[in-house]
Each structure stands twice: as C-alpha cells, then as structure tokens.
Structure 1
Amino acid sequence: FGLTKKVCYENEEFNLLQAALNIEDGLDNLRYNKVIVATDADVDGMHIRLLLITFFLQFYPELIKKGHVYVLQTPLFRVRNKRSKIKNKQVVKDADARLGAKEKKNDFITRYCYTEEERLNAIRDLGPEPEITRFKGLGEISPDEFVHFIGPDMRLEQVTLHKNDQVQKLLEYYMGKNTMERQNFIIDNLVIEEDLPQDEEMAEDRKQA
C-alpha cells in the first residue's frame, strides 16, 4: 500500500498477474470473468490473500467493484475411514450415491471439512477411529484430491465492497502506518479457536450416542 505501480511491477508476480489479466488499460480486455485467489488456509496464506486484494484495490478497484474477484475456500481437514469399518451404513450408501457415472467405489469413504464443526460431524459419521489429516497448505493436497475443490461444488467467496466503503480510507486503516491503532483493533476483536484433542472429541461423541 502506498507504493507506485512502477515499484510494484518490479515484483515479477504482480507484473505477470496484471499482464495475464490484461487489465493495464482497463477492464474492457479482461481475459477472465472470475479472478480466483487460492492460498494456503493458514495465517501466511491469508496474508498473501490480503496483499493481492490490496493490489487490486489500489490500482484496479473496478475489478472488485464489478464483482470479478473471488477467494477459493479449501478444506482444513480430511476425515476418512475404510467403508468396512464404518458403523453407520447409511453414510456409506449416501457416499456411493454421490459418485459420478465414471467414478468407482473406493475402499475409503472420505469427507473434506472446511470448519471444525464439519470435522466433528465427519468423525461421528465415519467412526470408529477415522483417519484425520490437517491440511497445512495447498502443496499437501494431491492433484487427484484438488480436482474436487475446483469442480462444480467449489466454494467461492466473492470479494465485495459496500456502497459506503471508501477504498482509500479502508486501505489506510488496514494497510497504512497507523500501527498502534490497528494493533488495538486486533486485540479488541481477536477470536481464538482451539482444537479439541481427538480423545475428547470421541468421548463427547460417545456421550451423545
């Protein structure tokens, strides 16, 4: 934020990005209707996401104002179990019913979870003792798995601006040099999520059962 376009274009990624989108002279020649930002689902990924959105807002705000920019939501967890071990056979039937015409039944029934609540539900449905993987980044997701997250059921969150949002003031507040003011805002609005140990989750599930 606050740098000139010339300085930003010294960064190869930003320079290639604007060239790939073909937006230097406006949106009339925009090559893609949807510009989808895909980053790791962690703090570093959110930081990169914020830098990209800041780049668009500072130099190409119409790209966001006209609804072209989206963020791809990727799963935080994979929960799976062998179909032969799953006690709830209706879960297996439902999973098989969702298979495409050319998809074959797998030895495993898998759920991809985007929230902690989805993870707990998957553990309950796919029990007992399912295998749980926490995705730390996009690089941990195989191409065979990633295709599920960019298909017809992909989860996209549109980057939007409210009518009353003043772009310059937003950027100055969140990306400017008002470090202490922003720090106090973060402290006052911080939300901490704690991962429950798996043993506690399973014990809680047994109580509910």
Structure 2
Amino acid sequence: MSIEVSGLKKIYGNQVAVNGISFSVNTGEIVGFLGPNGAGKSTTMKIITGFISPTEGTVRIHGRAFGPDTIALKSHMGYLPENNPLYPDMYVSEYLLFAGRLNGLKGKALKEKVENIIDRVGLSPEKHKKIEQLSKGYRQRVGLAQALIHDPDILVLDEPTTGLDPNQLTEIRALIKEIAKNKTIILSTHILQEAEALCHRAIIINKGNLVADCPLYELKSKNQSLEKTFRELTQ
C-alpha cells in the first residue's frame, strides 16, 4: 500500500485535533477525505506529508516511516495545501522552475518538466503572466503544477476546488481525473458533490475521530442519500 496511518493523534494545548485515527490508502486509489470544517482534515494531511509531527502514532509511506530520510519520503509526494500559497510577484514559468529546483530537478530535464506540466494542466496561455494576474482557477492550476512537477506517485490535495466558479470547477475536476490515472490521491473536501464526482472511497472524520471508511456506494445504501448519511455521521 502507498500510505498507512496508525493511531494518529495530534494535540494542541488542550485541543485534540486528531484523535487516534487509522487508515490505509492503496496504490492507485482516489480517496475522499471528508468532514465538516474543523474536523481535523488539514492537520492529518500535514502530518501525512511530513510538514508537522504527530503527538502519537505513525505514518508510513511505501512501508517506511518518517525519520532521518524524511526528504526522501517527501519526494514520493506532491502536496497542494488548502490555501494554495504562491508567490504572486513571480511569473508562472519562473515559479515552476523554482519549484522544480526545490525538488532536485535541473538543467534540460527541469526545463522539459516545466514545459510538459504547463501543457498538461492547461497553463500554456498564461505561462508568461505573473501569478497575481491569474484568476482563481488558473492559480489552482499553478498549485497543481507545482505538486506534480517532480512526477510524484502520491498526491495530497487539500480542498483543491474551494472558491472556484462552476466552469473552473469542471475544469479542475477533469484535470484531477486525468492525473489520477497513474497516481494515488487523497483529496480532502467538505463538499459531498466533490467526493461523488472524483472519488470511489470515503474516509470521514468528525471532531478528530474517524467515523467511516468505506466505498461511497455503501454510504448511500439503505435508500439514504450521501448527504443524509454524512449529516448523521457528523452531528
């Protein structure tokens, strides 16, 4: 399996953000990480990607836990944070060259990767613009491009479609589906339609606790809609 989370807990002062959750994600899966705002989704994703350490528990990437080889493990992952932090005064191509260098790419290989990913995510018309000049949808594309620049086999996408208009939403969903053909993806969202459009399986957490881990069709069993089941699980 690509990702194995065991007994994960994160405590900030008196607040338990994540409360001993365990799950695994197999190679090639697209898993929706669902829950209301404040459920602990972003905290869990930051731990999975090695940006913060857990209070308790372990995360294994391809069977290896974070330790002295943290950088090597991170090289397997591409991460799009919730707020998609970018450098607005940089040009699109310039920023992706920068992101590629941070991931160890250089020379001709770096330039080829940047050109390839710009074309793949549909940024070609905007590649000579500054990031501050881009629409929200194109900024999300830049965020996805930086997550993909080093061709990782695992993608962790935190609320990748937040704030997009309907046209942008359709475009980004199509892009994620295309990317998913040869990647393992964890995609967090509190929008149930997002999970139905992109994912086969759902992991739901509420107040830091894991409350469901099953295929989406099981959440809609017993003639209940996904929305009703979700409400019952997250009350």
Q: Structure 1 length as normaliser, TM-score?
A: 0.24
Higher strand share goes to which structure?
2
Higher helix proportion (structure 1 or 2): 1
Indicate the structure (1 or 2) with the bigger Cα radius of gyration.
Answer: 1
Tell me which of the two structures has the higher relative contact order, counting C-alpha pairs closer than 8 angstroms and 6 or more residues apart.
Answer: 2
